[in-house]
Structure 1
Amino acid sequence: MQPSLARRVASRGLWRQKPFIQPLTQNYICNDCLRKSRRIGPTTIGARYLHQSITPHPSIDPLQQIPPSVAFSSTEKHDDALLRSIFDSPDAYKSFSSSTPKPRTGLFQNRFLTTPKGFIVFANSCLKKARRVVDRVSRATSQEDHIRIIKDLDRLSDLLCRVLDLSDFIRNTHPDPNFVRAADRAFQSVYEYMNILNTTTDLYTALKAAMFNPTVVEHWDEVSRSVGRTLLADFEKSGINLPDKSKRRFVTLSNEISQLGRDFVNAASTANPYITFTKDKLDGMQPWTIASLSRITASGIVYLPVRGPVGHHALQTVKNGNVRREIWEAQQKAPREQIVLLENLLKKRAELARLVGRESHSAVTLVDKMARSPEAVTTFLHSMLSHTRPFANKEVAAITAQKSKSNPSDPTVYAFEKDYYLHKVVEEQKSRLGDPDISSYFSLGTVMQGLSRLFTRLYGIRLVPRETAPGEIWNDDVRRLDVISDTEGHIAVVYCDLFQREGKNPNPAHFTVRCSRAIDEEEILEEKLEEGESDGMATARNKDGVLYQLPTIALICDFSTPPGSSTPLLGFGEVTTLFHEMGHAIHSIVGRTRFHEVAGTRCPTDFAEFPSILMEHFARSPEVLSLFARHYRTDAPLPQELLQKRVQMGKLMENSETYQQVLLALLDQELHSPLALESSFDSTQVYRNLNRQHGLFPLMQGEEGGSWQGYFTHLFGYGGLYYSYMLDKAIADKVWKEVFAGDPVSRDAGERYKEEVLRWGGSRDPWKCIGRLLGREDLVEDAEGRMEEVGRWGAEVAVAV
């Protein structure tokens, strides 16, 4: 938590997105992280390419057949074919990007960022403008001053975030260390200024005066009032009204929590990073996986890494049960110093909550979220547990049946055996279904083409390739797409960094580098934006003539190309990943609110994943896949029977995975409860008690259980909000079933979803968005019962599965 405005910008900026945390392949892992885990095999490219014959990619007909239901113009047909070509063929992209010479520009076309030194110039330019805004708000006295205060504070937030968000993205992504260092300095200078702002109450006093003046409020529309309430609540939640001594304590605690959190994430490790075995003890593992390990002695001693994909692979395949148990127990044990870090973090969060008059950190975090309170979250999670357990038990029974084949005298599957017998169930299913590999039908270009075609049908917008200028992108692999609406023209810019390369963070992510915001004529005159005084990033006028800064988005993935080919082919899980991240992007694209503060994904954290999870349903829909899923060499459509087999395989253990996620969310709630301030607080006992009470797989007699919470790093990034993914999944499942399942490419359904949900960004109560979309006004009114009902929605899907 950060004080006041600093916290506001952080929570509404890049940190709102999924944190860059290396996925764990331990005990319980969220479905999203499982999907992001890198494959293992003889190379980082993955085993699915080993036996695939490769032929060169054919040339693409620019007027290839477009699926029916949309009449594309010749220009649109060309753009549609070009989209596939530039992602499938490096040569095609090179030809396209070099066709028209362009003058050099800066990163994202920001005119300041042509060199590393430009970051400080850019930061100072924004800080100079920010100080003018702060001065004007602090001196506000007249009614006219107070009427414009929401707009001024939103502009202030935008000025700071445009440096912080862009700089933080570059310092985590750019390959040039000079740019990384410069971006970090720019970030720190703006962050320090925010801390200075939070030592004075001038902004809060001015905002409060405006909010409590009925004459002023009458001049504001619904969105302005919503932004005002949110800003005021954030100031108050961050201790702005505390006595000076308590306020200083608040700032100290906030800084300590930030440092403890970073240390906790960075130090995440098992007590023993390696276990040594002789090769014969690892019988069952793939030989090339063992051979790929960096530490094997001449005498044949293997240093097996406990964490990561290799350790997980060992749990799945090693025949020796004692070896598997030793690996599993090592995976469960965090170093004592890591537990101390975690418990210090939890206690200081709890102390900070008490300082601002709340019972717990979770209570502070949830006050402005969909759930509203820890009690509501617990109600939802226990509803999910009770409704999901019967279906999870059925899946566990399949694993138990697998063990009973080899050990009928003790068919109980213990926790350390789960991965081994589940792997056998998966292998049997692959044998029965033919292990369908459908990646040849999903070249990256066809998937991008399919996303554009889907968005055209649902929302009347399409993705159009755009040449980049020298200096605009941070790597030659990055492709720029302009988002074009059939009613409003140019509405967004998306930079796609999707290809695997050495040194790149492999975790998929969506970044809003800059948010949408309306720029009024007064600001245009003041800043001389149309005369070259702006930073140079994309702007456009909407159909009403209002000038908007366009949302600028970066999508990061880590897709590889098969050996001997230039065409990247995606596994079905990778297709789902891309759809998921594009779900965040479409929220940013369509949610072009007048205010930066509530644009796109700047909504409550427990609503932010809903659009992206809903997009996963589209990725599995035969009607949607028929828009684009064609063999990359023959152009033959994806056979439906292959798709059905692949989807069926993906549903294996779906309910038990959901159940385990609910347990992790309960752990998150308990660790961020008032328990953290008790002298007897022991996070390990909390973790073990939850597993004993609700776990699907028992421990063997004499086992105490582990301390896995010590490297459950999401505890820092989410901090009382880990339930969000489950809540949004239940909502997305319900919306898919009631709005889209009958006709997933319906323009009527797409427009309804766009108008009731996407276009609002964070400016409307999410319960109102969902209630209006589903025709359920009672969801807005029934604060007590709605969380429990959403818990039941997950069970409806389980029944369908």
Structure 2
Amino acid sequence: MQNPLLENFQTPYQSAPFNEIKEEHFLPAFQELIKISEKEIDDIVKNPEAPTFANVIEALAFSGEKLDVVSGIFFNLNSAETTDEIQKIAQEVSPLLTEYSAKISQNEQLFEKIKKVYDEKEKYELNEEQQTLLKETYKGFVRSGALLNESDKEKFKIISIELSKKSLQFGQNVLAETNNYFKHITDEKDLAGIPAPILEQYREEAKERNLDGFVITLQYPSYLPLMTYAENRELRKELALANGKKSFNNNEFDNQNLIKEIVGLKQEKAALLGYKNYADYVLEERMAKSPDKVYTFLNELLEKAKPFAEKEIEELKSLAKADGIDEMESYDHAYYAEKLRKQKFDIDDEELKPYFQLEKVQEAVFGLASKLFQLEFKETDKIQKYHEEVKTYEIFENGEFKALLYVDYFPRKGKRAGAWMTSFKNQFKKNGENSRPHISVVCNFSKPTADTPSLLTFQEVTTLFHEFGHALHGVLANTTYPNLSGTSVKWDFVELPSQFLENFCYEPEFLKTFAKHYKTGETLPDEKINKIAASKNFLEGYQTLRQIGFGLLDMAYHSKNEKINDIKTFEVQETKATNLYPSNPETAMSTSFSHIFQGGYSAGYYSYKWAEVLDADAFQYFKENGIFNPEIAAKYKVLLSSGGTKDPMELYINFRGSEPKVESLLKRAFG
């Protein structure tokens, strides 16, 4: 069988040939590319010449290039356009890749050569990026078990394979639970309070299922408006219960035992390598360095934020009380938060949405990248796509090709919830050529209807800016080695570019450039723009406490070596200091906490708040000197393009002139 994944892609920029790829191509491609990559490693090991930086460290950095590209294509499809068959292949492929990685990291002869180069590094006159690559390569092998005895190496490999399988299963269970639920409503009276455009969206969903009336799903653009606007409290409760019970239903998609197994395996892995717990293992490679420092950081924020959060919730409770609700529940929060926001700022999402047409918001974010970093975006139809809704753009800098960008904005059955940036191909320099990246931004915004284009809530506007901030980190990458490129940075640094870009959404002079009514072209009135800016810190105390709660729960799972008997009990105990509503015994957050059990945020969820300190401090620098200041933008561009070539604190100080101050965040959040 001819397999396009095994050939050189005869496409523009060697982009993924989606039109030619079939599901049955993936498994044989992985099997063959793993063999090819293993041969590349074997060539490094068997090279009779003395080990050098070039023939060991650089050769290793550039090995497995085609395997990386095919992995990017496959796992991006598994997130954005999955099928039962792709999920089945993922369960077969993940252990193969884990085993392949383990074979490399536990190859004694290869590690001997790496160690020799590392021990003799002084003689090579390496530049800063080469020094970083050498240090990270050596350390990566040690952290992957290179110094273990044979028996422990085998244990390490088995644990890694099991973790890859179980993490995949966790995500597949959450996706199945999300897709399996829908609420069918025939009487429009049950949907009182919900704005007409959302009702139209619910009608469209019903039509797609060949039903009359309305259908609400657990997809974010469907679920959140119901929780925000539905006057029907029982309906809010029902949807919140369904959402909160995802993978907590004691059925085939239940994640409770899977969580215990994942946590146990991570602890075993850390113990094998000589760490007290998995958080110690992870945080050694983060800016925070230790669990103690993370706990100190989170608890300091908790102490500052909690009085504000409690005051905010009292305001919401007084609104609920006026409606006859004596005991406010978590499923009432979004509804009364929207009421209070309208009362305080006289704005609501549905009133603002006509001013945030998706295409105009995208134009704005492209324009911002152009103004700050001299980038130009051209839509192209010559790039193959994995779905007809995907759009593709060529990005240029001063006329020179910089990157490919794929954007995929709307929910589908085969797409997981949320929003993310990823890449199909990293940037690197080889044989005198700067090979440019292929970046993807994936979201779940409301689809356009027959009468209306896709209109975003203001929160969705900030989501698009957030993900585009990550995309710029990839687009501007300018490093030699692919494993130091773009977002390949310390995990608690990776959210700086994304959260930084969100700040522009609250700047009146920038908002005016794109907040225009989709029908009339009228600019959002100054009064509303000023209220958006003023509302930036609305319920900031509550939101901060919520994020701290996620961070504390994550740290508890990964730093406490106690046996977890019951997921719900453990969750309640570890988040009680941040919970401002009664806990419902029928729901659990952990069982759909994909960030830490499927994604890469294990012992790292705190990094969202950590990065907020960085982004508040960085944007303060712009604010003091002009938000489009070209000199500061140029310095920030250096930070973005440097990827993981330097210690992130050094990069930050080079940009800002000093270390970030937590006071910048506190000042922005609480004045």
TM-score by length of 2: 0.82
Q: Does 1:116 align with 2:21?
A: yes
Determine which of 702, 713, 728 is the counterpart of 2:594.
713
CA contact under 8 A between 2:568 and 2:585: conserved in structure 1?
no
Shift in Å at residue 659 of structure 1? 1.0
For 1:697-776, list aligned pairs within 5 A: 697-698=581-582, 707-716=588-597, 717=599, 718-740=601-623, 742-755=625-638, 757-776=639-658
- CA, structure 1 residues 503+686, in 2 after alignment: closer, same or farther (shift >3 Å)? closer
2:482 equivalent among 593, 596, 601: 596
- SS of the counterpart of 1:607? coil
Residue 67 of structure 2 is matched in structure 1 by 160
Alpha-carbon separation, structure 2, partners of 1:798 and 1:490: 39
Deviation at 1:473, TM superposition (A): 2.5
Is 1:449 aligned with 2:366?
Answer: no
Q: In 1, Cα distance between the equivalents of 2:516 and 2:667?
A: 33
1:182 and 1:303, CA in 2 relative to 1: closer, same or farther beyond 3 A?
closer
AA partner of residue 204 (structure 1): F
TM-superposed CA distance for 1:614, in Å, is: 0.8
Partner of 1:228: 134
The equivalent residue for 1:517 is 428
Q: CA deviation at 1:139?
A: 3.0
- Give the direction of change, closer, same or farther, for the CA distance of 1:568–1:741 in structure 2 (3 Å limit): farther
**Cα distance, 1:621 vs structure 2:** 1.9
Q: 1:347 aligns with which of 264, 269, 275?
A: 264
Distance 2:218 2:404 in 1: 42
**Structure 1 contact 517–550 (Cα < 8 Å) conserved:** yes
Give the corresponding residue for 2:376: 462
Deviation sequence 1:506-536 (CA, Å, 0-9, x none):
643212111111112xxxxxxxxxxxxxxxx
Report deviation, 1:385: 0.6
Residue 600 of structure 1 aligns to a residue whose secondary structure is coil
TM-score normalised by L of structure 1? 0.70
Q: What is residue 340 of structure 2 aligned with on the other side?
A: 425
Whether 1:795 aligns to 2:661 is: no
Identify if the C-alpha distance between structure 1 residues 578 and 316 changes in structure 2 by more than 3 Å, giving closer, same or farther: closer
State the alpha-carbon separation in 1 of the partners of residues 29 and 496 from structure 2: 34
Query: Equivalent residue of 2:351, what SS?
Result: coil
Q: Which residue identity does 1:464 align to in structure 2? A: K
Give the match's secondary structure for 1:457. helix
**Preserved CA contact (<8 Å) 1:579 1:615:** yes
Separation in 2 of the partners of 1:157 and 1:656? 46
Alignment of 1:468-617 (within 5 A): 468=382, 472-486=384-398, 489-498=400-409, 504-505=415-416, 507-520=418-431, 546-560=432-446, 562-565=448-451, 567-617=453-503
Structure 1 window deviating more from structure 2 (234-243 vs 193-202): it is: 193-202
| 2:561 is the alignment partner of 1:675 | yes
Q: Report the CA distance shift for 1:260/1:311 in structure 2 as closer, same or farther (over 3 A).
A: same
Alpha-carbon spacing, 1:278–1:369, altered in 2? closer, same or farther (3 Å): same
Structure 1, residues 427-464: CA drift from partner, whole Å, max 9, x if none?
5457x447673444444443333233322221222213
Aligned pair partner of 1:219 in 110, 113, 125 = 125
Q: Give the letter aligned to residue 115 of structure 1.
A: E
Separation of aligned partners in 1, 2:462 and 2:300: 28
After TM superposition, list the pairs within 5 Å mapping 1:290-305 onto structure 2. none
Matched residue type, 2:70: V
Residue 44 of structure 2 is aligned with which of 119, 132, 137? 137
1:265 paired to 2:181: no
Q: Deviations over 1:576-625 (max 9, x none)?
A: 22221211111011122111011001112211111011111122222223
The structure that has the greater radius of gyration is 1
- In the alignment, the residues of structure 2 paired with residue 447 and residue 149 of structure 1 have an alpha-carbon distance, to the nearest angstrom, of 47
1:619 and 1:625 in contact (8 A); partners too: yes
Aligned match for 1:366, one of 258, 262, 283? 283
Cα offset, 1:125, TM superposition: 7.7
Q: Which position in structure 2 is the counterpart of 1:87?
A: none
User: For residue 576 of structure 2, what is the aligned residue in structure 1?
Assistant: 692
State the AA in 2 paired with 1:241.
L
Q: Secondary structure at the match of 1:606?
A: coil
Of residues 415-424 and 370-379 in structure 1, the stretch that sits farther from structure 2 once superposed is 415-424
Instruction: Verify: 1:643 aligned to 2:529, yes or no.
Output: yes
- Report the AA paired with residue 613 of structure 2: A
Q: Offset at 1:760?
A: 0.9
* 1:513 aligned counterpart, secondary structure: strand
Ranges in structure 1 where 5+ consecutive residues have no aligned partner: 1-103, 295-301, 521-545, 780-785
Size of the alignment, in residue pairs? Answer: 642
Does structure 1 residue 390 correspond to structure 2 residue 307? yes
Q: Contact between 1:509 and 1:555, CA under 8 Å: does it hold in 2? A: yes
Query: Aligned Cα RMSD in Å?
Result: 4.2
* Contact 2:496 2:614 (8 Å CA) reproduced: yes
Per mean C-alpha deviation after superposition, the further-off stretch among 329-338 and 511-520 is 329-338
Deviations 1:626-664 (A, max 9, x none): 444444455444432222234445643232112111011
Say which structure, 1 or 2, has more relative contact order (CA 8 Å, 6+ apart): 1
When residues 161 and 187 of structure 1 are mapped into structure 2, their CA distance, relative to the original with a 3 A threshold, is farther
Q: How does 1:22-421 map to 2 (within 5 A)?
A: 105-106=10-11, 109-110=14-15, 115-116=20-21, 130-140=37-47, 142=49, 145-173=52-80, 193-198=100-105, 200-216=107-123, 218-268=124-174, 334-335=248-249, 338-406=255-323, 413=328, 415=330, 417-419=332-334, 421=336
Query: 2:240 and 2:456 mapped to 1: Cα distance?
Result: 31
Report if aligned partners of 1:166, 1:513 keep a CA contact under 8 Å in 2.
yes
Residues 1:728 and 1:473: Cα distance change in structure 2 (over 3 Å) = same
Contact 1:116-1:183 at 8 Å conserved across structures: no
C-alpha change, 1:501 and 1:698, in structure 2 (3 Å) is: closer
In structure 2, C-alpha distance between the alignment counterparts of 1:581 and 1:465, rounded to whole Å: 19
| Distance across 2 between alignment mates of 1:739 and 1:309 | 33
The whole-number CA distance in structure 2 between the counterparts of 1:148 and 1:660 is 49
Question: Do the aligned residues in 1 keep the contact of 2:506 with 2:536 (CA within 8 Å)?
Answer: no
Question: In 1, are the aligned partners of 2:16 and 2:73 still within 8 Å (CA)?
Answer: no
Distance (whole Å) between structure 1 residues aligned to residue 666 and residue 515 of structure 2: 31
Deviations for 1:305-334, whole angstroms, at most 9, x for unmatched residues? 899787777766777878877876776663
Identical columns (%)? 23
Question: 1:751: how far off?
Answer: 0.5
Q: What amino acid is aligned across from residue 612 of structure 2 in structure 1?
A: K
